[in-house]
A and B are shown apart, each in its own frame.
Chain A
Amino acid sequence: MMKFNVDERGYYGEYGGAYIPEMMYPNVKELQDNYLKILDDEIFRKEFSLLLRDYAGRPSPLYYAGRLSAYHNTNIYLKREDLNHTGAHKINNTIGQILIAKRLGKTRIIAETGAGQHGVATATVCALMGLKCFVYMGKLDVERQAPNVLRMKMLGAEVIPVTSGNMTLKDAANEAIRDWISNPVDTHYIIGSVVGPHPYPDLVARLQSVISEEIKWQLTEHIGKENPDYIIACVGGGSNAAGSFYHYLDNEDVKLVAVEAAGKGINSGKSAATMVLGSPGVIHGSRTILMQNEDGQITEPYSVSAGLDYPGIGPLFAWLYKMKRVTFDNATDTEALEAAFLLTRLEGIIPALESAHALAILGKMKFKKDDIVVVTISGRGDKDMAAYMKYLGESDYKNI
């Protein structure tokens, strides 16, 4: 990936950078100065790939979804990140970052989480490495993603409910940053998405890029060529989409589609579709597109999916949008819920609510019969059973 790479100052075009208070400077600078060296180090690479294979269970399968393909009258391959250890793509990033944290001599790990998948993946690698773990989670998310809270507790992490703001992902990230300011020496902050000050967007994208690296050879095994016509992924901050697109960014034959959460509808006032509703600004240390009012106050987002309930988007995506390299679409709560049931009943795969947003646009797209479409199933839906059952009760969902 050359054309859309971050520059030395941490920018993707006009987006990115490190808009941080001086209190964070030593920690962020330490990461900026070391991350590429560590990622390139042979021993690191060996440790990372062994853990991805033997611990996380990679490669994750690329599965030809026959009945879903027939339903949409095209060829759909599912990249099964839901089958990773801990149930989502988040583990790719946390394994990489915990290895970096250890190299930097850190003994205490903090993280923010929305749906709890990143929190669980962080708590998991902390247990694996014997490091103390503190996870900030909006109080609303603590309630709506209860199973993941229990998992984090069992893994030995301390889950700290955040009561500021809307009590969701944005506020959890604020509180994690405040923790880092207050613990500037021994602590590494494992950010869960391609957001935050440089080098995080690039670091997390590189650690997640294993997804598209695998798609390339797996698709070759399936159909004899590495390029699909489309890759579709959901996007909140954008980590699974960044990983799914990464090795295809320079190859313009492959159409890349990112799906945001429209919540109750773009114009309902309850939405998280940043690229439709947002404008340029600074959030969590990075210049990007974010949802804000005319005074530059950040707007509270909404989505039924806790992992997409974020008012910003990674700076890489703000740039890819501007360069017209990625097409953005969005799906409402209801469309995502419907798509989750459709996949479940056709393929026996219960997707995370986040991933269901990517599935939800399949019906709206105009595919040709011989198109090859890869959809990333970023996580599994165990954590979302309460929302799914509520929908089942309200909607008298018909069997297909």
Chain B
Amino acid sequence: MNRIDKLFQNRSGKILSVYFTAGFPSLHSTSQIIEALEAAGADMIEIGMPFSDPLADGPVIQNSSRHALDNGMSINLLFKQLADIRKKVNVPLLMMGYINPVLKFGLENFCRLCFETGIDGVIIPDMPPELFLKEYSVFFESYGLYNIFLITPQSDDGRIKYIDKISRGFIYMVSSSTTTGVKKGFSEDHRSYFKRINSMNLKNPRLIGFGISDNKSFEVACDVAQGAIIGSAFIRMLGETGSSKNNITSFIRKIRGGNNTVSAMPLFFKNIL
């Protein structure tokens, strides 16, 4: 069974997925960051493949990508770094990046190496569903890989049902109309979008990404979806304080709200939702 399915079967909520850019802050920090994230309690990890022109990303991930490329990161090297990662961690692992480097690497070859490495899913935002189905899904299927699709506040019901139908694993629910790493907080508009999606009885679980940066936004996301994805806030921390195990542990603890449990969550958030 795909580890992503297993995760959502075993856990009904508060799932925390963490994105980081491979090759940042230093070229060889990849597997150390993954191990520290799992040890700290991350439920799923998205390994970013840096790209020179990340269209959907804000300044934080743009900068981490540029540094990673300057450090010498490539898909080739990344697979080498991950060669024995499955001896070390059990959480679902996803590769996330843009389509051009993956096409250059060779899509079938990429899927095969993902399979051999123990990668469970892939997120390529600029590979639209129609194109995926027509040209690439055959490779994903033969290597047991899930391709994760995105929905946004602008996606109409028809589009969401279509994406739900073709999705496996989970749906990446983009919280706001923005690139990554913009902290705006969640407004009334967000909440009506979250409610709309919840009322649609989709077959796939959802994780909310974009704009999740602290315990407050994580808790809000967890109340309306099975969990959340954190990227830019984690990368900002790595850039400012480094990728030591202690830093990663304390970051994850803060996102999870220290020792707070769901019942200790301020009533305020429940009420506004």
Binding site for B on A (CB under 8 A): 17-23, 25-26, 164-165, 170, 174, 177-178, 181-185, 280-285, 292, 294-298
Contact residue among A21, A25, A174, A295 (Cβ-Cβ distance under 8 Å from B104): A295
Contact check, A295 vs B127: say whether CB atoms are below 8 A apart. no
B145 contacts partner chain A, Cβ-Cβ < 8 Å: no
Number of interface residues of B (CB under 8 A): 38
B125 close to A (CB within 8 Å): yes
Is the CB–CB distance between A296 and B126 below 8 Å? no
Q: Which of B137-161 contact A (CB under 8 A)?
A: 149-152, 154-156, 159
Q: Which residue of A lies closest to B57 (CB)?
A: A178
CB of A13, distance to nearest CB on chain B (Å): 15
User: Are A19 and B177 in touch, CB under 8 angstroms?
Assistant: no
Enumerate chain B residues within 8 angstroms of A285, measured Cβ to Cβ.
Answer: 55, 126
Chain A residues within 8 Å of B182, by CB: 182
* Besides A295-B101, A298-B52, 5 new A-B residue pairs in contact (Cβ under 8 A), listed by A number: A19-B128, A22-B125, A22-B155, A182-B182, A295-B76
Closest to A181 in B: B179
In the complex, chain B residues 15-60 whose Cβ is within 8 Å of any chain A Cβ: 51-53, 55-56, 58
Q: Which residues of A contact B126 (CB under 8 A)?
A: 19-21, 282, 285
- Min CB distance B204 to A, Å, is 15
Contact A21 B52 (CB under 8 A): no
B235 within 8 A of partner (CB): no
For the complex, is B75 an interface residue (Cβ under 8 Å from A)? yes
Contact B178 A181 (CB under 8 A): yes
A280 CA to B100 CA, complexed, in Å: 9
Cβ B128 vs Cβ A165 within 8 A? no
Judged by DSSP, the binding face of B is loop
Q: Does A17 contact B53, Cβ atoms closer than 8 Å? A: no
- In the complex, which of the residues A22, A182, A283 contacts B128, with contact meaning CB atoms closer than 8 Å? A22
Contacts of A25 in B (CB 8 A): 128, 152, 154-155, 159
With most chain A CB atoms within 10 A of its CB, the pick from B58, B150, B152 is: B152
Contact A22–B53 (Cβ < 8 Å): no
Enumerate B174-205 residues with CB–CB distance to A below 8 Å.
174, 177-179, 182
Distance (whole angstroms) from the CB of B88 to the closest CB of chain A: 26
Cα distance A134–B215 in the bound complex, in angstroms: 35
Across the interface, do B150 and A283 meet the contact criterion of CB distance under 8 Å?
no
Known: A164-B62, A184-B154, A297-B101. A21 touches B53 (CB 8 A): no
Inter-chain contacts of B151 with A (CB < 8 A): 22
> In whole angstroms, what is the CA distance A177 to B62 when docked?
14
* Chain B residues positioned under 8 Å from A185 (CB to CB): 154, 177
Q: In the bound complex, do residue B131 and residue A19 qualify as a contact, i.e. CB atoms below 8 Å apart? A: yes
- Whether the Cβ atoms of A281 and B100 lie closer than 8 Å is yes
